[in-house]
Structure 1
C-alpha cells in the first residue's frame, strides 16, 4: 500500500495544478480560453463538442479575443512580464497543428517601448489604448483591420481602464482612473458625446466600472457606488443628468456583465469574498439565478446573441474551471476543469469567515484556513496572507499558496484589512493617504486575536505580494515584537523610492492613494518600512521579478542589502523573466516551496 504523501510533496502538487480562464466565445459556440498547462497562461480553443486545440506557446502569458465573423484571434502579449502589451493576429483557418510561437503571429500593433491594451473588437476594426504618445497618458485608438489606418478617438490624458464602442460604432464610452483615491470617471468620445463628453463627475469620490451601452445607444449601464455606500447596477443618461437604480443591495457590492446586445445582464452579489450570480433583464427584473455548485470567485463572458455565457469559476477548494450557462434558465454545464488528485483534494480547506475586532472599534473581515491534519513541528503556528492592491480584496477563490501553507500544517488567516474593496465605500476609504498606517495597525489587531483561535502569537508570520508585500515589510519593521518571519513578494520597502521609480504612467494614480512626492514626503517616509529598519529582527524571504514595471526591483534589493548589513537571516530570489509577480509555474515551483520551508524553519517548535 503506498504511503501517504508528505506535506512537501503535496505543496509541490498544489503548485502544479493547472487552471482555466474564459476570454471569449464566438457565434458558433467555440470558447477562447486561457490554460496554464504549458507553464504560463496560453490560448486554447474549446469547440462545442469539447475538443481542445492549443493555439499559442509564447514566452510570456497572453490573452485574446475573437474577431467577430472571422476565424481570427487578436492576441495580447508582453515580454517577460513587463506589461508592455503588444497586439498580434492569429489565423485559425485552418487550426494550427502546433501551438503558435511569436514568429507565427501577424503583428498588428507593435512598439515594445510602450503598452497597447486591447479594449474592444469588431469584424473590421479593433479599439485599443496606448501610452505611446508620451509614455504616460493613455490615448484611445481605433484601427481599421482592412486598411491598417488608425484614428485617435481620445487623447485628453489620464489612465484608461476600459473602453467599449457603441453598437452603431460612432462613439466609445471610456472609463478612466480619476485623481481621487479609489475613484474612476466615465466619459464619451465620438458623435454621441454631449458637451465635453463627461458622463460622471471627475471630482466625485466614487467607483464606476463595467460600462456598457444600452440597446439604443441612448444611455449607459454601470456598476457604480455613485451617491451610495455599496456598488449597484445603474442606468445613466449620456449627459450624466439622470441616474436610475436597476439592481441594488444595501448590504453588498454588486458586479455587472452586460450582454453585447444589451438584452440582459449578469449581476454578481459579493458576499464575504464569494459571488452569487443571477441573470436580470436590463430593466433590473430578475430572470433567473445561476446554478452555482459552490461559492467562489467568477468572471463572465457573454455570447454575441446573448443566449448563453461562459463563466470562469474558482472556489476555495477548486482551481479555476470554465462552464457554459444557459441565459434563460441559469443551468450551468461544465466545459473544462482541472483534475485534483484525491490525496491532494483531501488536504484542501474550506475557510471559516470571521470579523476581527480592532482597538478603534472596527472589525476586519478575515477567512481562516485550518489544516486538515496536525503537523507537530508547526502546530499552533500561523501565517497571515495579505492581498495586494490596496484597492483590491481577498476572495474565496482557489489559492494554491494558501492551501500549501495549510497542507504544511499552518493555520492561515486571509484578512481584508481596511482599504480593501468589496465591503463598501467607507471601508475601502479607511487607508487613504494619511490613514495608511491604520491599515498596518489592523495587522496588530489580527495578531492579538490569534489566541482566540488557540494559536501561538510568538510563532506567526506575514506573507504578501505587491501591496501585500508592503504590509509584510511594514508589519515586521513597525511591529517587530509580533512577527517571527515574513515572505515579501514584489513588495514596497520605501514609498518614496517606489513613487520615484515606478512606471511614469502609474505614478499619479499611486500618489492619489499613498500621497504625493511633492506635498506628502514626510508622510511617505513615516509610512515606509525602510524608515524602521533599525527595529527589524524577523527573518525575511524576498521574491521579485526583474522586469517589474509597478514595483521596481530596487525595492527588493534595498531591503535585502539592509538585512545583510544587519546580519538578519534572509533570502532574495530574483527572476529575470518575470514582472509584477510570478506568472510562470517553473518559477513558482522554485520560489514558493522554498519560501514555505523558510517559514517552517523559523516557526517550528523550539
Structure 2
C-alpha cells in the first residue's frame, strides 16, 4: 500500500495470546512454520561480504538540514506537450500542482494552484486542454478537472461526492473523449468510463461485478475502441481488453490462463501493435510487443531481471522498455522492424516511472524525457538525444545546500536471511565511521508489501545517514522485483519470515564491524509501519527504538474500516478472516505489542482510508496501558502518506529527534 475519513473511537481490541509469540532468531528454525522459503530468488546474486563494507573519509562532511531536504522538490508525473514543452506535477510550492517547463529547460511556469494534489495530468492531442484528477485532504475520492493548456480557471468535470473518477487517463486522437476508471465510494469494483470533454457527458462502458480495477491505456486511432488493463484488487494478475466505445462490448486481447499477468502500457500510433509487460513461465515479467493481427509477441530484450514495457515513438518504429536490475534501471530502445534493442547510456539510479510512461519520446521523436534520482542525487527531469547520445538536465529542483558530492553514498547489498533466502537491500553508509561497533542503525522496511525499495533519492534516509546512522532498506520476500515466487512467499505469513529478512539486514551491518547491536532502530510507512510494530512486538530485545508511520496494527480491524478495494487486497494476502481467524491473529502486531520494549513514535494522517487512524490509536493505547514509552502525532487533512510539505518536515524532524534520543544515547 502506498500514499482514508475514519471513526476516532478508542475502543481497545482484545490482544490474542498465541503460543511462543516472540522469537529471538537464535533458535533452530522450524522448516514447517508458516511462510515460504525461497532460497535462490530471481536471479541469483553474489552475496556481500560484510567486511567489504566501508565508511569513506570526508573531512567536510556535515548533517544535511532536514527542512532543506523537503525543499528539494520531486515530481510525480511528467509528459511532453504537443509543442515540445514539458508538463509536470512537482511539489515546488509544498503542494503537488501542475507546472510547464519551457523547451530546453528553464524556470517552470505554474499552471494551477490547489491545496490538494493534482494527479495523472494529461494534455489533449490538440494541445488546448490539460486534464487531471484531484481529491480533498487525501481522502482519495477523486474528481476530474480541466484547465486551459496556457493556464486558467480549473473546471470540475465530474463533481461527484460518492463516486471517485481517476486516472490513468487516455484521450482520443480527436481530443474529444477521455477514458478513466470510476468506482462508487462503497464499492470494491471499478469500471471503465468515458467523458465527452465538450459536453461533459459521462458514459460507463463496463458493468463489472468483481473486485477489479479498469485502467485505460489508449484509444484506437479512429476512436472506436479503448484499450485497458483489467486487474484484480489483489494486484496478482492482469489482462488486456479492447472495449468498443459506442456499445461497451469488451474483448480480451491478452492475459488469461496461459499468461496470468499481461499489462498494456501503450498502443502504437497506427493501432496495430501493443507494448505489453508479460509474465513468462518462470514468473518473471518481460517487455514484449504484440502484433494484433498475427497475435505474435516479440520480446524486447529478454533478460534475467524484471522489465516494464514503455511507450512508442511518434512514428511507431521504436518502443522503449526498462529493466529493474536489483533496484537500478536499464533502459532500452527497441527497433520494431529489425527486432533489435539497444541500451541507452543514462545516469545510474532510477530513470523510469512506475507506470511505464517515462522515458517518453518527444513529439518529433528525437529525444527522450526521463526522471532521474539516486541515493546521492536528488530528483530532476532530464532529456536524452537519441541521435547524439547527449544527456541534458531539464529541471533544477534541488537546493544549493543539497550537494550530491557531499551526500552519503548508496550501494546494493545481498545477504542471506535466517533460512538461507537471499535478500537484497539499499544501503546508505555515512562518512567517517570507525569500525569499532559503535554506529547506530536504522532499518527502513518498505510499504506494500508488493513494492520494492530502489536506488533513488530518499529524504529521510539522507537525513539519518548524514547524521551518522547506517540506513538499510531491505526488499524482503513479498517484494516485487525478484519474480512471482518471491513476491508471494509471504502470503499468510506477514511479519514472519519477512521480518526475519529485515532483521538479517541489521545483522549484516553488525557483522561489518561498524554497527552497535544495542543501537538498532526501525521505521517505515504503511506496510513498513506494520513491520515496525511487528518488529518491536515480536523481537522485543532486538530493537532499541522505532517510528511507525500509518501502519497496520490489527489486520482484522484494518480490513473492517479500510476502503473496499484494500479489503480485497488484504484478503489476497491473508485469506478470509471468517475462515482463517488464526492467520489474522498470528500476523497482527496487536498480538505481540504487550511484549514490546523499544520506545515507539507513531505518525498518522487523520483522513487515511487505507490504514485508518483507528490503527494508530489502538497501537498507542496498548503500549500506554502496558507502561511503555510511546508518543504520537496525528496530521489533519492528510491521507495515506504525508503530501503537505510542512507535515513532511515535521514528521522527519520528529523521527530524527526520536532516534537521536533513544539510539545515540549511551545504553
Q: Normalising to structure 2: TM-score of the pair?
A: 0.83
Alpha carbon RMSD of aligned pairs, Å?
Answer: 2.8
Q: How many residues align?
A: 594
The alpha-carbon distance between structure 1 residues 230 and 584, as it changes in their structure 2 partners (threshold 3 A), is: same
| 1:11 shift after superposition | 2.6
- Corresponding residue for 1:101? none
Which residue number corresponds to residue 422 of structure 1? 481
Q: Distance in 2 between matches of 1:247 and 1:288?
A: 10
Task: Assess, with a 3 A threshold, how the Cα gap between structure 1 residues 437 and 5 changes in structure 2: closer, same or farther.
Answer: closer
Which residues of 2 match residues 372-383 of structure 1 at below 5 A?
372-374=431-433, 379-383=438-442
Moved more, 167-176 or 195-204: 195-204
Instruction: Indicate the structure whose relative CO is greater, using CA pairs within 8 Å and at least 6 residues apart.
Output: 2
**Residue 105 of structure 1 pairs with residue 154 of structure 2:** yes
Matched, 1:258 2:311: yes
Q: Is the 8 A contact 1:21 1:312 kept in 2?
A: no
The one-character-per-residue Cα deviations of 1:304-332 (angstroms, maximum 9, x if unpaired) are 55443311111111221112233455432
Tell me if structure 2 keeps the 8 A contact 1:259–1:304.
Answer: no
Paired with 2:337 and 2:208, the residues of 1 have a C-alpha distance of 33
Query: Which of residues 85, 88, 93 in structure 2 aligns to 1:30?
Result: 85
- The CA distance in 1 between the partners of 2:130 and 2:233, in whole Å, is 35
Change (3 A) 1:435 1:504: closer
1:406 aligns with 2:456: no
- In the alignment, is the contact (CA less than 8 A) between 1:378 and 1:603 conserved in 2? no
1:175 shift after superposition: 1.4
Deviation string, structure 1 residues 136-186 (Cα, Å, up to 9, x no partner): 311111111122222222221433252122222222222132366632232
Question: 1:483-537 deviations in whole A, cap 9, x for unaligned?
Answer: 1111111110011111111101332133112322232221011100001122111
Greater shift after overlay, 199-208 or 513-522?
A: 199-208
Q: Pick one of 115, 130, 137 that aligns with 2:164.
A: 115
> Using the alignment, how far apart are the partners of 1:181 and 1:136 within structure 2?
13
Q: Using the alignment, how far apart are the partners of 1:520 and 1:334 within structure 2?
A: 53
Distance in 2 between residues matched to 1:171 and 1:564, nearest whole Å: 58
Distance in 2, matches of 1:381 and 1:350, equals 17
Quick check: 2:61–2:406 contact (8 Å CA) kept in 1? no
Determine if the alignment matches structure 1 residue 128 to structure 2 residue 183. no
* CA distance in 2: counterparts of 1:542 and 1:205, whole angstroms: 42
Change over 3 Å in CA distance of 1:193–1:226 after alignment to 2? farther
- State the TM-score, normalized to the length of structure 1: 0.91
**Residue equivalent to 2:108:** 52
Please name the residue that 1:450 is paired with.
Answer: 509
What are the within-5 Å matches in structure 2 for residues 24-423 of structure 1?
24-48=79-103, 50-63=106-119, 64-93=121-150, 95=151, 104-118=153-167, 119-122=169-172, 123-132=175-184, 135-157=187-209, 158-160=211-213, 162-164=215-217, 165-178=219-232, 182-190=236-244, 197-202=251-256, 206-236=260-290, 242=295, 244-259=297-312, 261=314, 262-282=316-336, 285-286=339-340, 288-299=342-353, 300=358, 301-328=360-387, 330-341=389-400, 344-374=403-433, 379-423=438-482
Q: Give the drift of 1:554.
A: 0.7
Higher helix share: 1
> Do 2:206 and 2:248's aligned partners in 1 also have CA atoms closer than 8 Å?
no
Residue in structure 1 matched with residue 65 of structure 2 by the alignment: 10
2:542 is aligned, of 465, 473, 482, to 482
**Structure 1 stretches lacking a partner, 5+ long:** 97-103
Q: Which moved more, 1:372-381 or 1:278-287?
A: 372-381
For residues 85 and 377 of structure 1, what CA distance do their matches in structure 2 show? 53
Does the CA contact (< 8 Å) of 2:416 and 2:422 recur in 1?
yes
- Distance of 1:453 and 1:565 partners within structure 2: 38
- Determine the C-alpha separation between the residues in 2 that align with 1:187 and 1:509: 22
Q: 1:545 to 1:133 in 2, by over 3 A?
A: closer
Contact 2:171 2:178 in 1 (8 A): yes
Instruction: Measure, in 2, the Cα distance between the counterparts of 1:141 and 1:361.
Output: 48
Which piece of structure 1 moves more, 422-431 or 391-400?
422-431
Structure 1: distance between partners of 2:494 and 2:137: 35
